[in-house]
Amino acid sequence: MKKFYGQRSYVQSAGVKGEMEIDGFSIAVCKEMDVELSRHRTRSFDEMEEWGDDLGSFDLIVALSPASQRRALELTRYSHLDVEYWPILDPTGLGETRAAKLEKYREARDQIIDHMTRKWGAPMESGALAMGK
């Protein structure tokens, strides 16, 4: 999101569980498009709140799994916050060879990119898109 649309919108990545290492295949397929994930740390929705991010201050939560959608809906039932579910291929455990695994992760990455461009338009070359609400 930050690579495609710049830093003018506040974007955080969170999930149902925190304290997990970023999957090496995710790191590899994002590196192919100059997105650095190796220093990224996963965090849960609860950790976001503990660290000072008020979920009510966000405009949108995009859930990429049914579990994250359920958790987001629980956390936002009293907030004026949209939750969208984007069904994305879960590539973990798919493919028998390294090349086949990487291909499944690329498919998932590309599905996310497709959803973003349908929602917010083509990426800006400069990475500085003013996103409307």
pLDDT digits (tens, 9 = 90+) for 38-54: 887 777 777 877 877 77
pTM (two decimals): 0.80
Q: How do the domains of the chain map onto residue ranges?
A: 2-118
List of residues 6+ apart from 43 with CB closer than 8 A: 12, 13, 14, 15, 18, 51
E-strand ranges in the chain read 60-63, 82-85
The topology under which CATH files domain 2-118 is: Rossmann fold (3.40.50)
pLDDT by residue (tens digit) across 80-99? 788 999 999 999 889 899 99
* Integer CA distances (angstroms), 93 to 72, 73, 114, in order: 25, 27, 23
